[in-house]
A and B are shown apart, each in its own frame.
Chain A
Amino acid sequence: MLDLIPLQWAWGIVLYWLLLAGASLLAQRNAALITAIVFPLGALGALAIAGVGALGLAGPSAHFILPIGLPDLPFHLRLDALSGFFLVLLGGAAFGVTVYAMGYFKSMAAEQLSLLALWYHLFLAGMAMVLLADDAYAFMVAWEVMALSSYFLVTTDHKIPEIRRAGFLYLLIAHVGAVSLLLCFGVLQGGHGAYTFDYMRSAELTPFWASAAYLLALFGFGAKAGLVPMHVWLPEAHPAAPSPVSALMSGVMLKTAIYGLLRVTFDLLNVQLAWWGTLALTLGLLTALYGVIFAAVQSDMKRLLAWSSIENIGIVLAGFGLSLIFYADGKGALAALTMTALLYHAINHAFFKGLLFIGTGSVLHSTGVRHMGALGGLIRYMPWTAWLTLVGALAIAGLPPLNGFVSEWLLLQAFLLSPGLSHHYLNMVIPVAAAAIALASALAAYVMVKFFGVVFLGQPRAANLEHAHEAGWPERLGMIWMALACVLLGLFPVQVIVWLEPVVRLLTSQTMTNAGNWLMLAPISAERASYAPLIFFAVIAAITLLVFFGVKRVYHGRVRRADPWDCGFPEQDARMQDSAEGFGQPIRQIFESFMRVEREMPDPFDRAPQYRGDSRDKIWLLIYQPIADLTAWLSAQAGRLQHGRIHWYLIYSFATLIFLLVFTR
């Protein structure tokens, strides 16, 4: 009975969020009530569910049947290490974002805010239920709650046509994915007719049907995660949604897709084939490179971050594919190492991408601008936001001693440590894949230099930026929480890996061996590669301090402000700085054939010329547009039946009647 306690608590918190959702609807007149009471209570729920998840991670798995749902079809719940880990991810990231939301939504109109709070808490409850569900029915219900509530969150500003369009695109792709998942569960039950996950685990599928289930799952979860070419909704939906919502969607919701993929592939399916891994690895690498290249050429802050999310999901999926290859090949230790790396990267991404999105939210809130061409120099007006965002930017760029480095380093180790796999082609391809991961990481750093440099450094590109105000305390606290998580996850990887062990054991029935000690991280063996973040951090900090004080001592110590070297050109203004478009231009030059570039060239006689370039991907035109055109054409053909003449409608039914009478004779 004692094992059940965390699970019952988790269910209790889901109920509590549902109650908060209802309560926020009642508080329609009073905006202050929602920001001062509902959101803080929601944040406490997030913290509690993270705690419950940690208990579930350490404890044995627990089942629980909930007597709700359809007759004879109750909800089955289960809390095991895998759901526990993702609950920690959900709770941890959602706590920071919700604390931030307390301040961020303060200026919103009460009516809109109460609806937003309703969907927000439904969204949290839906995501938690996805992680707890133990049968296909409960899973799909929770999955739909998650998709629909996030749709309403994306379309918070539904009066703007583009936002409605973005929301529709998101809803469409979410549902195409959901249909695929439904089919996947249909295959997985393997003729039992029972849809609990327990039955699915015991179902003996032939390799053909197992592959069908895997492909359906990859497509369905890939549509949610933003796998190329189903990623098109991400760059549209993230700029449309309010920033805390983007942070949750990108940080947490995309991870529920990873959770589902892991659950189906490693837990529910009874066979794992190597070619599945190759497929996921290829798609993951493609997604990572595609995402980062497009991130490099964006000039809209949130669109840039959305593309960067695609890149990170690509890295996680590449890790997933590699782990699957190792697992199917019987290399358990390496599979465990890769699995550790991908789970690590998933939780890292939740925190640093959440942090970047809410940091962007603060900039957007105080300047009202998303376009990077109208920003700049904000570090002087918003120091808290700027420094905290810098932590996130450094983490996502994969710089030690922050968390992004650890997971990417582990993943690269897994790639490089792969000794002879039994498949020759794979042996040749995997080093190339490692190179692709390294390229994606390097480009991610490039993207972050651009993001941080253009937004926060240099001179303000528009006059009104001088009135930009710093974010309030709730916002700062939210960002501090996320930044702290990035730093701690980076400094204590050995502890984190110990903590991940139950999940890795559940999925790959092995754990990653750490040849180092509590201070030193050394996968496989200490001779090959090791990393000691605390020592690294101490050395970096010591050198920085030494140089700082040394320079202060040797030099006169006064701060002197002077004009930069101006090449003899008398005038200097903010327009001469490198712009977002300019910074991304080399990448655009190389990859222009994959892009659809829209340029606005200034008039030669314009005294204050403005250049704007927008790079969109061609996949929309190549894949989605033909499908849309075909659908429209078919519906137009069907629409010709409808011409408004009642007599013809009667003739239709008359002809049908006669036909059926003749047919049934």
Chain B
Amino acid sequence: MTLSYHLQVVNLLAALLLLISFAMLSQRRIVGLITLFAWQGAALATSTAIVAWSTGQHHLYWSAALTLALKVIAMPWFFFRLVRKLDVEREVETMINIPTTMLIGIALVIFSFNLALPISQMSGTVTRSTLGIAMACVLLAFLMMITRRKAITQVLGFLSMENGLFFAATSASYGMPLVVEMGVALDVLVGVFVLGIFFFQIRETFDSLDLKHMEKLKER
């Protein structure tokens, strides 16, 4: 069976998305991480737009535009400013070393492909084969949140996870209703701003953005 060109492009973009997720896992510098995040957003927006064009789901154009505006332009810009202000352009500190993380990541990808197989057979969309990739992106982003020390990388991991979810929604059922997507976008935007304020507060309190200082906050 041959796939139409636009589907091949979507598959290519999906592969790119997964690649960027791995790149984010292996990236050692925060500025690089933000750039990768922006690229991930760009790939997501492009693939959403192509799905919209090929299936005639017009509301997906709005989603693509929102993604482009928020995740490719606004947030990376905000993060770049934040990093400069907080002066944390240095290396990303990891809990587990990067090669091990990559190996765990590969295991996760295999797991999610295995998991997505029965689901994508049930789904009736043309993009169903990318569901496994979407789930892998979610789990890889989660893994990034677990293995990084700095608060700012946690937020990037969280946003990247949101990208994966968004992609999963697009590939499994042509996206969520527009109202839901608007709501999620607003949540993410507000969340980022609130977290940005928190970063300043955390640094002011602990003189660092390292999360290990927050262990003091527990009871006893």
Contact = CB atoms under 8 A, between A and B. Distances in A.
A binds B: yes
Interface of A: 639, 642-647, 650-651, 654, 657-658, 661-662, 665
B154 A646 contact: yes
Interface in B168-220: 211-212, 214-220
B45 to A, nearest CB: 26
A126 to B, nearest CB: 35
A643 B115 CA distance: 32
B216 A644 contact: yes
Given A645-B212, A661-B115, A665-B115, A650 B142 contact: yes
Nearest to B108: A658
B35 interface: no
Contact of B142 (A643, A657, A665): A657
B171 to A, nearest CB: 17
Contacts of A643: 215, 218
Interface in B111-140: 111, 115, 118, 139
A644 B220 CA distance: 11
B142 A654 contact: yes
B50 interface: no
Contacts of B214: 644, 646
A643 B211 CA distance: 13
Interface stretch (B59-67, B79-87, B143-151): B143-151
Contacts of B139: 654, 657-658
A642 B147 contact: no
A639 B139 CA distance: 28
Contacts of B211: 645-647
| Residue of A642, A647, A661 ringed by the most chain B CB atoms within 10 A | A647
B95 interface: yes
5 A-B pairs with the lowest CB-CB distances in the bound complex, closest first: A644-B215, A644-B218, A650-B146, A646-B211, A650-B145
Contact of A647 (B95, B216, B219, B220): B95
Contacts of B220: 639
B118 A665 contact: yes
A644 B213 CA distance: 9
| Residue of A643, A644, A645, A658 ringed by the most chain B CB atoms within 10 A | A644
- The secondary structure that dominates the B interface is helix
Nearest to B138: A657
Nearest to A648: B146
| Residue of A639, A645, A650 ringed by the most chain B CB atoms within 10 A | A650
A642 B218 contact: yes
A651 B142 CA distance: 9
A651 B146 CA distance: 6
17 contacts: A643-B215, A643-B218, A644-B217, A645-B211, A645-B215, A646-B154, A647-B95, A647-B149, A650-B142, A650-B145, A650-B146, A651-B146, A654-B142, A657-B142, A658-B111, A662-B115, A665-B115
Interface of B: 95, 111, 115, 118, 139, 142-143, 145-147, 149, 154, 211-212, 214-220
A658 to B, nearest CB: 8
A642 B143 contact: no
A662 B118 CA distance: 12
Nearest to A642: B218
Nearest to A665: B115
Contacts of A665: 115, 118
Contacts of B142: 650, 654, 657
Contact of B146 (A639, A644, A647): A647
Contacts of A661: 115
Contacts of A657: 139, 142
Contacts of A651: 146
Contacts of B218: 642-644
Given A642-B219, A658-B111, 7 more contacts: A644-B216, A645-B211, A647-B146, A647-B149, A654-B142, A654-B143, A658-B139
Nearest to A636: B220
B146 A654 contact: yes
Nearest to B95: A647
A639 B142 CA distance: 25
B154 to A, nearest CB: 7
Nearest to A653: B142
Nearest to A657: B142
Contacts of A647: 95, 146-147, 149, 211
Contacts of B217: 644
A333 to B, nearest CB: 63
Contacts of A645: 211-212, 215
B167 to A, nearest CB: 17
A294 to B, nearest CB: 38
A643 B219 CA distance: 8
B87 to A, nearest CB: 22
B96 to A, nearest CB: 10
Nearest to A646: B211
Contacts of A662: 115
Contacts of B111: 658
Nearest to A661: B115
A643 B216 CA distance: 9
A229 B147 CA distance: 53
